[in-house]
Amino acid sequence: MRATSRYRPLVAGLLLAAAVAVPPAVVWHARPVAHAAVAAAGVVLQVRSVVPNAPSALVTLDPDTGAVLHHRWLEHTVNAIGYDAAQGLLYGVATRLRLAPLSGGGHLVAVSPAGDVVDHGPVLGGFAATAYAGAVAGGELLLRAGNRLLGVDVRPTSPTFRHVVRQVRLSAPVDVGDWDYDPVRQVLVGVDGTGGSVRLVEVDPGSGQVSTRALSGARRGGSYGSAALAGDVLYTVNDGMDRPLRAYRVMVGTGVATELSVSQPVHATDAAWVQAPPPSPPPSPSPSPSPSPSPSLSPSPSPSPSPSPSPSPSPSPSPSAGPGPLPSPSAPPSPSPSPSPSPSPVLPPLVVPVLPPPPAPEPPSPSPEPEPSPEPPAPQPSAARRPAVYLPEPVYDDYDPVTTGRNTVVIFILGLSGARLLLAARRRRR
């Protein structure tokens, strides 16, 4: 992914504030889709940065409408991602962590579809910080850095893990913001929106051979920073800070693009296709055991009626030996009595004992009604308590024997003096 237009710091700050205030799933308007050529069994995972050098967000896009299904902020600024189906991970290049540049150039990071990031350190053997396009094929993250194709080993058990193991110069300069790998034709597919017309670009990763053809239905300008290939359908996004974010579905075979949605501008995007796992077959129903037939009870043979004897025929008269007068009609012989049939055995009648009806249960005697418990006597009103009156105790001075004795002597002297005065007064009167 790459931003192709200049920006000002003030515009970047305003867009960053708008991105924080407006939910990422806000869509300005969505164009109706006529029909889906291929039923996509998967989703598009995309990393996007609202402003330059800002932390990326991992979003899940609906391939049919371009709507955001899930959104999660990352701490890294990630670009040039590709999906490794064998590991179930996204691999990409991170250049910043919490807005701070990473040492050693671009770092190889693994991102789970849930948004968990593992930093594996700098890419060794090549400068991958300027890479824009990314796709995983054969255990390599195929990057476009200028007019070169770099292959970074992303197999964790390989001795060359995170090393650049492939460097191929492209046969012609192209400006694709992202590409994805077609395993059938073994080429990388992307969209170039620069120049006089929009072109569909195909690159052979082995030789670097570039081929282009016209693409109709897509807008010119900006950067097509997302490319996710699902069969013969390429999902791509045209981004840039000065233009709305437009999602397209491109039929690679016909070279026709259909616009899916238009949303708020972002600085840069990059995407990869994640195929949905095949549905598990439904469990085969276990055969239910057939119930064994229950033995039928054979009915008891009913006594067959004895055959009635047929009557024996009467003997015919023997003819006379010679001619003679016609014989007079003789009385018919009495029929012989037919033998009486033997009586058939008669089963004795089944005697069912007649049981007397059970005696009717006596109705339960009514339980005596419980006597009402006597109400407890009302508590007698307690005598009103009078407030206690506390009389002040008399205060006694402390007894001091010295002071008391002194007072006694003084009183005694005063008494003697008074007595002497009285005696003197009496003497004068005499």
User: Three-state DSSP class for 281?
Assistant: coil
68-83 average pLDDT score: 96
Helix (H) or strand (E) holding 12: helix 9-21
How high is the mean pLDDT of the chain? 77
- Cα 98 to the center of its chain, rounded Å: 30
Nearest Cα neighbor of 192 from 205, 179, 207, 206 is 179
Q: Rounded to the nearest 10 degrees, how much is the dihedral formed by the CA atoms of 39, 225, 94, 264?
A: -90
C-alpha dist (Å) from residue 38 to 174, 181, 230, 257, 259? 28, 18, 9, 14, 16
Q: What is the pLDDT of residue 408?
A: 77
35 touches 233 (CB < 8 A): no
Q: Which amino acid is at 113?
A: P
The pTM (predicted TM-score) of the whole model is: 0.60
User: Lowest-pLDDT range, 149-153, 230-234, 335-339?
Assistant: 335-339
At residue 414, does pLDDT exceed 50?
yes
25 touches 291 (CB < 8 A): no
In this prediction, residue 427 has a pLDDT band, given cuts at 50, 70 and 90, of confident
Q: What is the pLDDT of residue 163?
A: 97
Nearest Cα neighbor of 145 from 133, 161, 162 is 133
CA separation for the pair 375, 378 (Å, rounded)? 8
At residue 409, does pLDDT exceed 90?
no
At residue 63, does pLDDT exceed 60?
yes
Q: What is the pLDDT of residue 312?
A: 44
- Cα 258 to the center of its chain, rounded Å: 33
Q: Which long-range contacts (CB under 8 A, 24 or more apart) does 208-213 make?
A: 208/149, 208/168, 208/169, 208/170, 208/171, 209/171, 210/170, 210/171, 210/172, 210/174, 212/172, 212/174, 213/255
Residue with the two structure tokens 């009717």? 360
DSSP 99-123: TEEPTTSPEEEEE-TTS-EEEEEEP
> Which is more confidently placed, 75 or 128?
75
244 touches 264 (CB < 8 A): yes
- Percent of the chain scoring above 70 in pLDDT: 61
CA separation for the pair 260, 363 (Å, rounded)? 87
310-320 average pLDDT score: 42
The C-alpha R_g of the chain, in whole angstroms, comes to 60
C-alpha dist (Å) from residue 139 to 89, 148, 156, 160? 12, 19, 10, 11
Task: Tell me the helices (H) and strands (E) count for the chain, helix number first.
Answer: 2, 22
38 touches 231 (CB < 8 A): yes
Nearest Cα neighbor of 202 from 230, 174, 232, 222 is 174
Q: What is the pLDDT of residue 415?
A: 81
**How many CB atoms are closer than 10 A to CB 38?**
12
- What six digits make up the tokens of 82? 């590709």
- Contact residues for 25 (Cβ-Cβ < 8 A; gap 6+): 67, 68, 71
pLDDT, tens digit (0-9, with 9 covering 90-100), for 237-266: 999 888 999 999 999 999 999 999 999 999
- Percent of the chain scoring above 90 in pLDDT: 49
User: Lowest-pLDDT range, 200-209, 253-262, 274-283?
Assistant: 274-283
- What six digits make up the tokens of 141? 């993250």
Under CATH, which number does the domain 46-275 receive? 2.120.10.30
- Contact residues for 192 (Cβ-Cβ < 8 A; gap 6+): 174, 175, 176, 198, 199, 201, 212, 224
Q: What is the pLDDT of residue 39?
A: 46
250 touches 200 (CB < 8 A): yes
